[in-house]
Homo-oligomer: A and B are copies of this chain.
Amino acid sequence: MPATIRDVAARARVSVATASRALSGRRRVSDENLRRVIGAAAELSYRPNLVASSLRRQVTNTIGLVIPQISNPFFPTLVESIEWQLQSTTRQLLLCDSRGDPEVEQLRLQALVDRQVDGIMISPCDALRSADAVHTTARQVPLVQIDRRITGDATDWIGVDDEVGMRLVVEHVALAGARTAVFVGSVPTNSSALLRLEAFASESSGFGLKTSEPLLGDFTAAWGIEAARVLLAGRHLPDAVVCGNDLIAIGLLRQFLLAGVRVPDDVLVTGYDDITSAELSAPSLTTVRQPHDAIAFEALRLLTERFDRPDGPYQRISMTPELVVRESTTHIDLLPPNADAFSRASRQ
C-alpha cells in the first residue's frame, strides 16, 4: 500500500496539517518540522494522491482537448504543441476524438465536464451542429475554441485568419500568372471549410481571377483524388487549383501526376495548413502555414485568463498565417541546382 500523508505525519511526529503544509508550501512551517516531514516523505517514498487533492481543492490540473480527428495530420502537430505547453504547467491532457460526429463530440464534452477538468479546448467538428454543446459546456467550464469554431460569438477563440491566408494564396497564384482558378475544398459544415471557401470567392474576385463552381467534398486525400478526376474530365484545366487543405492538394497532385498533368507547368496547385508531408510531396506543395506553437500558447493563455475572470469579455484572436512557396506553384527554373534531374524527368 502506498504511504499516505498520515503515514508521513506519523513518522515525522507532526500533525497531518503540518505535513500537508510542509509538502505543499502553502503555509510556513518551522525549519525543524519541514526537515522532518521532507525526510519522512522521502523515506516512505510518499506521493500525494492527486485525486484526493483534486476533490478537496476543486482543481484537477487537467485540460480536455476535443478534436475532430487525430489522424488528420493537421491535428497531431497541434496536439503536440498543446501537450508540451501543458506539461510545463504540470497539467495533463485528456484527449478526445469526436470522429467528426457532433453527437460523439457532445458526449465527450459532457464526460470532460463530469471529470471536472479545469478547462476545455475544442476544435468543433461542425459549425452549426456543434453549437449547442459548445455553448452549454462553456457555461460550465472555461472553454476556448481552437482553429475551427462554431458560428456565433459566445466563446473565446484562437486560430488563424483564413481570409488573410486565402488572400496570400490567391495573390500568389495571380502574380504567378494564373487567370482562372478553381477551389477544391470541403463541404462547409465546419468553420475552416466555410471561411476558406468564402475567402477564396471574395479574394479571387478581388484579384481578377475567373473562377468556376468550387468542388466540395471533405478534407481528405481521397477527395483530392476524386476532385482531380472531375477536373481532368472537364474541357480544360484552370490555371490554378486552390485547395482547402493540404490533404486534398496532395491527393490532387498524386492524381495529376498519374495523369501526366504537369504541376506547376500545366496548372498551379496550392494547399492549406502546411502539414509535414506538404514538403515531401512531389512536387512539394505551396501552402499556408499555421503557427501551431503560437496557437497552443495563446489557447492556454486564453484559458488561464478565463480562470481568473470567468465572466470577462470573450476574445477572438486571429493569428496571421504565412505563405510557404514551394514547387507546386514555382517555375522549375527557380528550383535549386540539384533539382535539375527532377525537372527534366517530370517534364518528360
Q: Could you tell me the distance in whole angstroms from the C-beta of A20 to the nearest C-beta in chain B?
A: 16
Establish whether residues A92 and B96, one from each chain, have CB atoms under 8 Å apart when the complex forms: yes
Question: Knowing A77-B71, A80-B71, A94-B94 touch, does A51 contact B338 (C-beta < 8 A)?
Answer: no
A95 interface residue (CB < 8 Å to B): yes
**Residues of B with C-beta under 8 A to A80:** 69-71, 97
Question: Knowing A60-B51, A282-B257 touch, does A79 contact B70 (C-beta < 8 A)?
Answer: yes
Establish whether residues B260 and A280, one from each chain, have CB atoms under 8 Å apart when the complex forms: no
Question: Knowing A51-B115, A76-B75, A93-B94 touch, does A280 contact B250 (C-beta < 8 A)?
Answer: yes
Establish whether residues A260 and B344, one from each chain, have CB atoms under 8 Å apart when the complex forms: yes
* CB-CB nearest in chain B for A348: B345
Establish whether residues A251 and B280, one from each chain, have CB atoms under 8 Å apart when the complex forms: yes
Question: Knowing A221-B280, A250-B277 touch, does A341 contact B258 (C-beta < 8 A)?
Answer: yes
Other than the given A251-B280, A257-B342, 6 more pairs (CB < 8 A) read A49-B114, A51-B54, A55-B55, A83-B96, A221-B276, A257-B282
Bound-complex Cα distance A73 to B92 (A): 22
Interface residues of A (CB under 8 A from B): 2, 47-52, 54-55, 60, 62, 69-71, 73, 75-77, 79-80, 83-84, 87, 90, 92-97, 99, 104, 108, 110-116, 140, 221, 250-251, 253-254, 257-262, 276-277, 280-282, 338-342, 344-348
Bound-complex Cα distance A259 to B280 (A): 14
Bound-complex Cα distance A242 to B174 (A): 42
12 residue pairs from A and B, CB less than 8 Å apart: A52-B55, A62-B94, A69-B80, A70-B79, A251-B280, A253-B282, A257-B282, A258-B338, A260-B345, A345-B346, A345-B348, A348-B348
Counted per complex, copies of this chain come to: 2
Establish whether residues A84 and B96, one from each chain, have CB atoms under 8 Å apart when the complex forms: no
Bound-complex Cα distance A282 to B75 (A): 24
Question: Knowing A95-B79, A282-B282, A342-B258 touch, does A114 contact B50 (C-beta < 8 A)?
Answer: yes
Q: Could you tell me the distance in whole angstroms from the C-beta of A158 to the nearest C-beta in chain B?
A: 20
Kindly identify which residue among B51, B281, B338 contacts A282, using a CB–CB cutoff of 8 Å.
B281
Question: Knowing A277-B277, A339-B258 touch, does A114 contact B71 (C-beta < 8 A)?
Answer: no
* CB-CB nearest in chain B for A251: B280
**Residues of B with C-beta under 8 A to A282:** 253-254, 257, 281-282
Establish whether residues B113 and A84, one from each chain, have CB atoms under 8 Å apart when the complex forms: no
Bound-complex Cα distance A1 to B1 (A): 36
Bound-complex Cα distance A215 to B346 (A): 28
Q: Could you tell me the distance in whole angstroms from the C-beta of A277 to the nearest C-beta in chain B?
A: 5
**Residues of B with C-beta under 8 A to A259:** 338, 341-342
Establish whether residues A83 and B55, one from each chain, have CB atoms under 8 Å apart when the complex forms: no
Q: Could you tell me the distance in whole angstroms from the C-beta of A342 to the nearest C-beta in chain B?
A: 4
Q: Could you tell me the distance in whole angstroms from the C-beta of A335 to the nearest C-beta in chain B?
A: 9
**Residues of B with C-beta under 8 A to A79:** 70, 95, 97
Q: Could you tell me the distance in whole angstroms from the C-beta of A280 to the nearest C-beta in chain B?
A: 5
Q: Could you tell me the distance in whole angstroms from the C-beta of A194 to the nearest C-beta in chain B?
A: 25
Q: Could you tell me the distance in whole angstroms from the C-beta of A220 to the nearest C-beta in chain B?
A: 9
Bound-complex Cα distance A326 to B51 (A): 50
Q: Could you tell me the distance in whole angstroms from the C-beta of A245 to the nearest C-beta in chain B?
A: 14
Bound-complex Cα distance A113 to B261 (A): 55
